[in-house]
Amino acid sequence: MSAGTNVTHSDEHRQPPPRTMPGDKVRTKKWAPKTFNGCLTCKKRRIKCDEGKPGCQRWPFSMDPFSMFYPMSVVANEDPDAPPKIRLFDPASSSSTPTTPPAAPPTTTLAPPPAEPEPDPAPPRDPQFQSYLSSYPHPQELALVPIFGTQEEYRGFQFFLEKTSNLISVYSKPYLWSVLLPQATWHQPSIKHSVIALASLHQSLTTLGAPSQRANHNVMFHYNAAIRSLVADKPPIDIVLAACVIFWALENFNGSGQPAVDHMKAAIKILGEWKSKRRSKDPADDLISKYIEPTIRDGVKFASKCRMEELTDQMSALCLTTRDVRIMNFKHPAFDDLEDAEKYLGSCIDDILTLKSQIQVQAALHSTHTVLIRELERLDELDARLYRWMHLFQNLTATGPVYMRRMLIVHNVAAHILLDQLQRQAHYNASEPEEMQGPDRDFAPECAGPERCRHNFIVIEVEDVLRHDPLTTTESCRKNPPFLGFIAPIFLVAMSAENVETRRQAINALRWLNVAEGSWSTEHAARIAEATLEMAHKCALVPSNVDVQRLTFDLDEDDQTLTMVWAREPEHKAVKLTKRLDALDLPWAGLDIPELVRRYGYQFSSQS
């Protein structure tokens, strides 16, 4: 009995066998209080959650910020001017199997887009995609190659990188659209689906036939998938704001005025709430302040006057400049068809070129760069007219050839390039608020403005139009080009782009186009652009330093040669560049070459 009792007593105090394999060390679990509610991050951290919406703001300040992955959040940097760092999923540890989002509340349910019988994973080493990556030196290259589940998603993402992001970047923050949003597609389903929806809409508007129909079906499928992801995942505030901006761009592309304003209204409201509860060392501060908020300001400028009245109560959340307010208050009657849109834009370009000549003459007469107030007011008005044209064009219901609509966008971008030149010529600063500026902001890729992307966009867009739109190759189109023509925007790039390769690409596009507009032809433009490049190379000058406004021409009818002379400044008469061109086969009779080159081939007076 005693022995049995002793055995029972020893069994009660016997330790359970360890749950380890032989040779492993026994691990003890660190004590921590249990948490049953709150966000998943606070549960994992075992801290009390503030249950704030749209995301908890407690845990980023209670733990080491570098010990946890912040989805699309910016880590505090020692250098305030350093670019934001974004934590990405490790590609080796991320699963390529797409997760099915929960059912969304009352949204339209669509069938998935028609896909291939057996969708294979997208090839990570596509030659065309790698050529794109090599042409744009992103600091985080690997972030631009996410492994999507289907070929359809991969093609949509590739179209966004090559076409859609380039188009939006000429009007807004290039680094956001070309780098940050593609990075976010790694780990944010809402951004991935919204980006593909936007690219699909862009593709449906710029292509013909089956590709256009297939892309149009993909729009609503991925649009709804993005909304379901936002509802189910409850991402942080920077992701919600980024999604609002993408949705605004999508509705703007589609010409839907009220839905676009609704998305912008939501973005401004969320931004205002975030600013009112702003905390020091907020990981989303840099991303929202440097990229998302300026993009929202750019978007507001495209809204109509009546739509702006709906946002009046929320405008205090945006740091609007005087220029922004002037653009938003500008009024112009709507145009009814593509021909009216072309004439409106041609009038803007003609006025910009005329003002450039007037300012140059004024500077030559008075030997000063001072610009009169009335000329600055005209410059501001031209800026507002170009923004208003884009708003009216997006809401234009009249149909027409796809290539004409795309070429009008190209001419609008060319007008912005001319306006940038005019602002530099007049020493006019119409940039962001002072707190957004820095001494080196124009030299850092993450701080580059839209003007850095415009030349490259024009060349790529015109090449794509010529390559894929059959109407541009017809004899009637080449003999009777549109009012604004094809040559001028490409010649503008060939004569003013900072990058030498972009200029050479534009010269090749001119020769490929091979059309004549009156007495002015692509061969004329290509020869003059090549001569300008050779003059700059001969004296080891940056091509942009060879200013078109200082080129003079002399035609020798006896020798049939055209002499181009460039002088840097009147006080530097010794610094001159000279280039002779064979003009034997070029019909120069009756053509004012100096004036035509200064106007980059735009011939309004002869056609109007």
Q: What is the pLDDT of residues 448-504, one digit of tens each?
A: 677 778 999 999 999 888 887 777 767 777 666 777 888 999 999 999 988 889 999
Q: Is the pTM of this model over 0.85?
A: no
DSSP H helical ranges for 426-521: 454-468, 475-479, 487-496, 500-513
pLDDT surpassing 80 at residue 110: no
57 plus 198 within the same structural domain: no
Identify the domain boundary among 39, 68, 97.
68
Check if the beta carbon of residue 38 is closer than 8 Å to that of residue 56.
yes
Which of the given ranges, 214-228, 291-305, 310-324, has the highest pLDDT on average? 214-228
CB atoms closer than 10 angstroms to residue 285: 18
Number of domains making up the chain: 3
- For position 285, what pLDDT does the model report? 83
In a domain, 50, yes or no: yes
Confidence of residue 423 (pLDDT cuts 50, 70, 90): confident
Check if the beta carbon of residue 319 is closer than 8 Å to that of residue 297.
yes
Confidence of residue 535 (pLDDT cuts 50, 70, 90): confident
370 CB-contact burial (10 Å; exposed 0-12 / middle 13-18 / buried 19+): exposed
Q: Which of 134-138, 249-253, 502-506 has the lowest mean pLDDT?
A: 134-138
C-alpha to C-alpha distance for 168 and 161, rounded to whole angstroms? 11
308 plus 345 within the same structural domain: no
- Beta-carbon contacts of 419 under 8 Å, excluding residues fewer than 6 positions away, are 352, 379, 382, 383, 386
- For position 546, what pLDDT does the model report? 73
> Which residue type sits at 466?
L
Check if the beta carbon of residue 481 is closer than 8 Å to that of residue 401.
no
Q: Tens digits of per-residue pLDDT, 302-321? A: 776 556 666 666 666 777 77
- For position 555, what pLDDT does the model report? 72
46 plus 147 within the same structural domain: no
- Mean pLDDT over residues 259-274, rounded? 87
- Alpha carbons within 13 angstroms on the beta-carbon side of residue 360 total 16
pLDDT surpassing 70 at residue 574: no
310 plus 417 within the same structural domain: no
Check if the beta carbon of residue 56 is closer than 8 Å to that of residue 49.
yes
Q: Hunting for tokens 């109560």 — which residue is that?
A: 313
Identify the domain boundary among 18, 38, 68.
68
Containing structural domain, residue 296: 138-320
Which of the given ranges, 83-87, 275-279, 409-413, has the highest pLDDT on average? 409-413
- Mean pLDDT over residues 336-361, rounded? 88
- Mean pLDDT over residues 417-433, rounded? 74
- Alpha carbons within 13 angstroms on the beta-carbon side of residue 232 total 16
Q: Hunting for tokens 């042409």 — which residue is that?
A: 135
- For position 309, what pLDDT does the model report? 64
349 plus 456 within the same structural domain: yes
Confidence of residue 226 (pLDDT cuts 50, 70, 90): very high
- For position 488, what pLDDT does the model report? 92
Helix axes 151-159, 127-135, angle to 10 degrees: 30
**Bridge partners of 554?**
563
Confidence of residue 394 (pLDDT cuts 50, 70, 90): confident
Q: How far apart are the first and last CA of the chain?
A: 120
Q: Hunting for tokens 């401004």 — which residue is that?
A: 268
- Residues comprising the chain, all counted: 608
In a domain, 279, yes or no: yes
207 plus 342 within the same structural domain: no
User: Please, what is the average pLDDT of the chain?
Assistant: 72
472: Cα separation from own chain's centroid:
26
In a domain, 111, yes or no: no
286 plus 345 within the same structural domain: no
Calculate the alpha carbon distances from 405 to 107, 394, 451, 535 in Å.
32, 10, 22, 36
In a domain, 174, yes or no: yes
- For position 440, what pLDDT does the model report? 42
C-alpha to C-alpha distance for 133 and 135, rounded to whole angstroms? 5
221 plus 266 within the same structural domain: yes
- For position 323, what pLDDT does the model report? 73
313 plus 358 within the same structural domain: no
pLDDT surpassing 50 at residue 60: no
- Mean pLDDT over residues 404-415, rounded? 92
**Bridge partners of 67?**
none
- For position 606, what pLDDT does the model report? 42
Q: Which of 69-73, 133-137, 168-172 has the lowest mean pLDDT?
A: 69-73
Identify the domain boundary among 16, 38, 68.
68
In a domain, 60, yes or no: yes
DSSP letter at 582 equals E
Strands (DSSP E) contained in 351-394 are none
Confidence of residue 29 (pLDDT cuts 50, 70, 90): low
**Bridge partners of 521?**
516
Check if the beta carbon of residue 369 is closer than 8 Å to that of residue 428.
no
pLDDT surpassing 80 at residue 441: no
pLDDT surpassing 90 at residue 131: no
- For position 30, what pLDDT does the model report? 62
Confidence of residue 71 (pLDDT cuts 50, 70, 90): very low
**ω into residue 65 within 30 of 0, thus cis?**
no
In a domain, 56, yes or no: yes
486 plus 426 within the same structural domain: yes
pLDDT surpassing 70 at residue 2: no
Comparing CA positions, the residue from 541, 540, 518, 529 lying closest to residue 579 is: 529
190 plus 227 within the same structural domain: yes
473 plus 348 within the same structural domain: yes
In a domain, 127, yes or no: no
pLDDT surpassing 80 at residue 419: yes
CB atoms closer than 10 angstroms to residue 445: 15
In a domain, 220, yes or no: yes
C-alpha to C-alpha distance for 346 and 407, rounded to whole angstroms? 12
Most distant pair of Cα atoms in the chain: their distance: 135
